[in-house]
Amino acid sequence: MIYDFLIAPFAEFEFMRRALAGTLALALGAGPLGVFLMLRRMSLVGDAMAHAILPGAALGFLVSGLNLFAMTAGGLIAGCVVALLTGLVARMTELKEDAALATFYLLSLALGVTIVSLKGTNIDLLHVLFGSVLALDDQTLVLIAGNATLTLVVLALIYRPLVLECVDPGFMRSVSRAGAPAHLAFLGLVVTNLVSGFHALGTLLAVGIMMLPAAIGRFWARDITKMIVIAAASGAVSGYAGLLLSFHTGVPSGPAIILVAGALYVVSVLFGQVGGLVRQALPQRHLEA
């Protein structure tokens, strides 16, 4: 019975196994990135970036149809251009990062919509918007897994400067010049993960597997390492449970995954060990000094 419910869908159907592999890989890479975005108070940057990617991906789609390479390249280029310009403007002018990003992603969005309207719309564009995690082919799966690997390796390389840039940017500048390149590499990873995520979850929901697990991690750990582990794990759990939910109830799988993550988030807000609402409300005797 339990087997039928929890394991059989994946044992019986290959497309479910592929979907599970894809979401697990996504969760592994996106969770840690989300934690850094959150700690840098850039939680909405992922969202803005996803909007910036959309026109690139749509352009790739219009040029060569549902072609993995064209859409990925389009998304990557659009995302990297916006990330790079944002970083440059924020570092070289008075404009702060959020304002710089807002300007560029809006421009990118407007440009993308203009291009799309020139060529006319297509119903398949819905794939780009909402993804198709149940139809991951070999190529896409390799792309997602490769990207997760790349993300973890690069994060390990830039971990120290990234943490230091977050906690004490002034000190970072005084001891090393690695801050700016680390930050750019980090933004690059955000872009590649969103691009890799949109194949499964669509451009709009790809941010969900990044930010919701990170926010969940914040409620269960006081230390960044644990936070990262919890984020990746809760992303993976959401992927698994979301696919099951989708399989048994017929809800679209992308939204189902994000909804499960949302449910975990609500539980964390209520019962989380670090600053959860219930814990705050419970009367606790204070300690001796």
CB of 260 to other proteins, least distance (A): 25
CB of 172 to other proteins, least distance (A): 9
- Among positions 21-80, residues that touch other proteins (CB under 8 A) are 39
In the list 96, 119, 160, 248, the residue contacting other proteins (rule: CB under 8 A) is 160
In the list 221, 232, 244, 259, the residue contacting other proteins (rule: CB under 8 A) is 221
In the list 1, 120, 153, 174, the residue contacting other proteins (rule: CB under 8 A) is 174
Nearest by Cα to 269 from 218, 224, 193, 200? 218
CB of 42 to other proteins, least distance (A): 12
Nearest by Cα to 44 from 198, 208, 159? 208
6 to each of 15, 155, 198, 230, 255, how far by Cα in Å? 16, 33, 26, 22, 19
Binding part of the chain for other proteins, among 66-74, 161-169, 188-196, 207-215 by CB under 8 A, reads: 161-169
Place of tokens 């998304």: 75
First to last CA, the chain: 54
Binding part of the chain for other proteins, among 3-11, 216-224, 229-237, 260-268 by CB under 8 A, reads: 216-224
Burial of 283 (0-12, 13-18, 19+ CB in 10 A): exposed
Residues sharing a CB contact under 8 Å with residue 116, sequence separation 6 or more, in sequence order: 55, 58, 59, 62, 125
Burial of 135 (0-12, 13-18, 19+ CB in 10 A): middle
Nearest by Cα to 45 from 187, 192, 209? 187
Binding part of the chain for other proteins, among 1-9, 53-61, 167-175, 260-268 by CB under 8 A, reads: 167-175
- 8 A C-beta contact, residue 75 and residue 50: no
In the list 57, 58, 136, 164, the residue contacting other proteins (rule: CB under 8 A) is 164
170 binds other proteins (CB under 8 A): yes
Q: With CB under 8 A, what is the number of residues at the site for other proteins?
A: 23
Other beta carbons within 10 angstroms of residue 232's beta carbon come to 25
175 binds other proteins (CB under 8 A): yes
In the list 7, 124, 139, 169, the residue contacting other proteins (rule: CB under 8 A) is 169
CB of 213 to other proteins, least distance (A): 16
Binding region for other proteins (CB under 8 A) = 39, 157-158, 160-161, 163-164, 166-171, 173-176, 178, 221-224, 227
